[in-house]
């Protein structure tokens, strides 16, 4: 990504300034990500100079082969510290030597214990990163978490933005697999629709350029009947307080994002009740609840549709300190506006599956027309010249996947730089 827009430069500068005074992210599962190989832009001479300067202090008496391995790992970790600052999450590493002999992911990435330990020690000793060692999480062995110190964070975010990860299989993954599903997904035949579709999409994308370029993967949760959303590193870029993502480019051209409006709510009403949600369902609930915050209504719908019980939804709501009275008022308004809607039934994960199927359909149609389509949660990013195509294709795909027969339909909104 070489042709940065003037507004992206402004947004990135504001982010870098804010990082000077930023606080550490929460140390929990939702704010962790694992190390993977990242490569700098071919034109990023500044990054290579930074690596060279640190290597002079880090390499010690290592011979050429060991020094090359150390440099490779140092590149991965520096760019990942840029990611940590950009997405406000901890970089998770293993300092357990045995893990590198048994962990299939670590082995597939070619990661080694000795250089990683040396780099972590170096970054901690030279006050370049906050290092938290030895916490267990999600039933996995203890891992170490890193977050860059302010100067390092501000320095690395722009280099992460221009970095990329190799586009190669596997493109279909299973998180938290159960009862043999992980093995089933790993052994899907080459012609399976999931594998075939994601291979077609990624082979097309290889020849194009965008910020944080990397593979598009299909991720299931627990079983292949749950979640099934599309993920790529690009969608993690911030776009609220700092409008980084929308100001990046695809093949050097400005983008727009076409976003489904109130999508999980619309899908539930369409699929389960053949009911249209109307033009402004969140605003309707806001009026009934006498609530000014659309984000608060959206948060309630997300939690209520994604939880298996009211108690679980309310607990999640309270963890985010959103106010118990708000919960009750928005709940009552939701049921008054949509009396058929069933909440607290884990339906959100099925909505994610449908959402993934819709976006996959749109991306495949993009491949056939030579149009780059990037998934962004429940939206897509395309070059602005393809905006009208994206709108029409998304609405058509939604109707077909939701089998609404016109009784219920999607609505979309468009965001531009």
Q: What is the pLDDT of residue 140?
A: 61
Structure tokens at 40: 């700098």
The string of pLDDT tens digits covering residues 103-124 is 988 999 999 999 999 999 999 9
- pLDDT band with cut points at 50, 70 and 90 for residue 179: very low
Q: Which band of pLDDT confidence, cut at 50, 70 and 90, is reported for residue 163?
A: very high
CA distance 238 to 11: 10
DSSP 3-state of 248: coil
Q: Which of 249, 241, 238, 256 lies closest to 5, judged by CA?
A: 249
Give 242's contacts (C-beta < 8 A, 6+ positions apart): 11, 12, 14, 15, 18
Task: Give the tens place of pLDDT for each residue, 122-154.
Answer: 999 999 999 998 766 556 667 999 999 999 999
- Specify the pLDDT at position 220: 81
Long-range contacts of residues 40-43, Cβ cutoff 8 Å, at least 24 apart: 40/75, 40/79, 40/159, 40/162, 40/163, 41/1, 41/2, 41/159, 41/162, 41/163, 41/164, 43/2
What was the pLDDT predicted at 121?
97
Lowest mean pLDDT among 142-156, 188-202, 264-278, 295-309: 188-202
Average pLDDT over residues 288-298: 96
- SS3 label, residue 414: strand
Among 118-122, 178-182, 315-319, the range of highest mean pLDDT:
118-122
Query: What's the confidence (pLDDT) of residue 406?
Result: 74
Band (pLDDT 50/70/90 cuts) for residue 225 is very low
Average pLDDT for the chain: 91
The tokens for 415 are 């965001």
Which of 209, 186, 157, 219 is closest to 11 using CA atoms?
157
Q: Where are the beta strands (DSSP E) in 232-304?
A: 249-250, 253-260
In this structure, are residues 205 and 364 in contact, taking their beta carbons and an 8 Å threshold? no
Q: What is the pLDDT of residues 25-64, one digit of tens each?
A: 999 988 999 999 999 999 999 999 999 999 999 999 999 9
pLDDT band for position 174 (cuts 50, 70, 90): confident
- pLDDT for the residue 189: 57
Mean pLDDT, rounded, for 367-371: 98
Quote the pLDDT of residue 250: 98
How many percent of the chain have pLDDT more than 70? 92
- pLDDT for the residue numbered 183: 46
User: Per-residue confidence at 407, pLDDT binned at 50, 70, 90?
Assistant: confident
Lowest mean pLDDT among 36-50, 88-102, 165-179: 165-179
Q: Which of the two residues, 349 and 63, has the higher pLDDT score? A: 63
């Amino acid at each position: 990504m070489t042709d940065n827009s003037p507004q992206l430069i402004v947004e990135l500068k504001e982010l870098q300034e804010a990082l000077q005074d930023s606080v550490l992210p929460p140390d929990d599962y939702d704010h962790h990500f694992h190390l993977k190989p990242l490569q700098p832009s071919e034109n990023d001479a500044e990054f290579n100079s930074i690596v060279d300067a640190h290597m002079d202090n880090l390499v010690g008496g290592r011979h050429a082969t060991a020094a090359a391995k150390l440099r490779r790992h140092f590149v991965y970790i520096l760019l990942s510290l840029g990611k940590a600052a950009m997405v406000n999450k901890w970089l998770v590493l293993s300092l357990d030597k045995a893990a590198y002999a048994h962990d299939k992911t670590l082995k597939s990435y070619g990661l080694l214990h000795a250089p990683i330990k040396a780099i972590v020690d170096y970054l901690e000793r030279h006050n370049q990163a906050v290092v938290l060692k030895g916490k267990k999480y999600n039933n996995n062995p203890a891992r170490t978490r890193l977050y860059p110190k302010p100067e390092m964070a501000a320095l690395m975010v722009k280099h992460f933005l221009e970095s990329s990860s190799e586009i190669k299989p596997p493109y279909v993954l299973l998180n938290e697999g159960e009862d043999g599903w992980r093995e089933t997904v790993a052994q899907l035949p080459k012609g399976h629709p999931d594998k075939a579709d994601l291979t077609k999409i990624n082979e097309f994308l290889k020849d194009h350029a965008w910020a944080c370029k990397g593979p598009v993967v299909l991720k299931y949760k627990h079983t292949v009947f749950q979640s099934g959303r599309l993920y790529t590193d690009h969608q993690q870029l911030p776009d609220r307080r700092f409008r980084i993502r929308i100001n990046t480019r695809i093949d050097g051209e400005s983008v727009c994002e076409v976003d489904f409006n109130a999508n999980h709510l619309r899908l539930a009403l369409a699929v389960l009740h053949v009911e249209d949600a109307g033009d402004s369902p969140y605003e309707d609930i806001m009026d009934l609840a006498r609530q000014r915050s659309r984000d608060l209504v959206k948060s309630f719908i997300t939690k209520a549709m994604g939880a298996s019980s009211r108690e679980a939804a309310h607990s999640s709501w309270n963890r985010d300190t959103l106010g118990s009275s708000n919960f009750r008022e928005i709940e009552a308004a939701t049921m008054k506006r949509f009396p058929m809607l069933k909440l607290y039934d884990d339906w959100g994960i099925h909505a994610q599956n449908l959402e993934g199927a819709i976006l996959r359909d749109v991306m495949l149609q993009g491949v056939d027309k030579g149009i780059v389509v990037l998934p962004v949660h429940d939206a897509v990013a395309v070059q602005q010249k393809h905006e009208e195509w994206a709108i029409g294709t998304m609405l058509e795909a939604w109707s077909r996947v939701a089998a609404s027969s016109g009784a219920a339909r999607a609505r979309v909104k468009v965001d531009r730089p």
